[in-house]
Structure 1
Amino acid sequence: MEIIQLNTVTKSKSLEILRLSHQLGYANDTQLLFTRLTQILSLKDHAVFVAQMDGKIVGWLHCLVCLRVESPLFVEVAGLVVDEHMRGQQIGKKLIEASKHWSRHQDIAIMRIRCNVIRTESHQFYQALGFISNKEQKVFEMNL
């Protein structure tokens, strides 16, 4: 297995990422996902890492630098998915390690990740990697 940082995306790679996203219940339009990935990869303060086995994507992670008025600069893991058939093989851990290395290269010493309250297995995974839970919150959304 290898972890690589994506610099470009093909339609086939975006379909593999789409397939993994569906496993966590995230519905996406194929073309819109491809367009978003293309936009994200053009941004210097974002990174997308993929775990590949035999040329197939079995996990992905998206992280970005967050600049906020109230907080020191930090990197947020915006998304992390490992194929449900491949979990327990250190893939998620290796993706987190790649994002930690990228964060240090950005001179950023804080990393955050948000996780749905119902994903208790994920909570245990992140805690085992050294993340600590420091806040619970609700997310409010409005269609415009």
Structure 2
Amino acid sequence: MDSVVVRPSSGKDIPMILGLLYELGRPKPQKDSEVETFRKLVTKYVKDSDKTILVAELDSVRIIGMVSVVYLSRLNQSTLEMYIPELIVLEKYQNNGTGKKLINYCITLTKEKKCHRIRLESGNQRKESHKFYEHLGFEQSARSFTLNLD
């Protein structure tokens, strides 16, 4: 989609960012106070110099996707690693190049920051996402293990 522009997020994007996270299956606030807590978490994330959130905006009006980025130092590398915790495109706008635009913007950032790689995780059930990442040149390189503490 030529009318989709990727840009760094701003404070006004927070409600749409939260909506995209809910679409991905992230926890939704159960009380009004939790909405404010989530807003503060996103605001803090954006203000951290080692993190960023990029949004894909359609026709300069509607946010239809986002990617969150964390720059990590590794003990065995002299350059940073870009880690992508979330990449989301609204289902209605998937398969039209928006996800690729988001990843390409990330690749541009890795060159500016001189990162040695981009790493991301994708849930086992997200088979279409796996095909998308492989199509873009990503390789499955590890297994992820989780210990939930709640």
Superposed pair shares fold, TM > 0.5? yes
Measure, in 1, the Cα distance between the counterparts of 2:19 and 2:116: 32
> Is 1:3 paired with 2:6?
yes
Maintained 8 Å contact 1:45/1:65: yes
> CA separation in 1, counterparts of 2:110 and 2:28?
28
Residue deviations 1:52-96 (CA, integer Å, cap 9, x gap): 113111000001111233566311011110001100111011001
2:48 — aligned with what?
A: 43
The aligned residue for residue 14 of structure 1 is 14
Residues 79-135 of structure 1, C-alpha deviations (whole Å, 9 max, x = no match):
110001100111011001111111111111211011111111111000000000011
Aligned runs of 1:1-144 on 2, under 5 Å? 1-6=4-9, 8-10=10-12, 13-29=13-29, 30-54=35-59, 55-69=61-75, 73-143=80-150
Identity %: 23
Runs of 4+ in structure 1 displaced over 6 angstroms?
A: none
Aligned-residue RMSD, C-alpha: 1.5
Kindly provide the amino acid, as one letter, of the partner of residue 149 in structure 2. Answer: M
Residue 133 of structure 2 aligns to a residue whose secondary structure is helix
TM-score of the superposed pair, with normalisation by structure 1: 0.89
What letter matches 2:54 in structure 1? F
Q: Which letter maps to 1:89?
A: N
TM-score of the aligned structures, taking structure 2 as reference length: 0.86
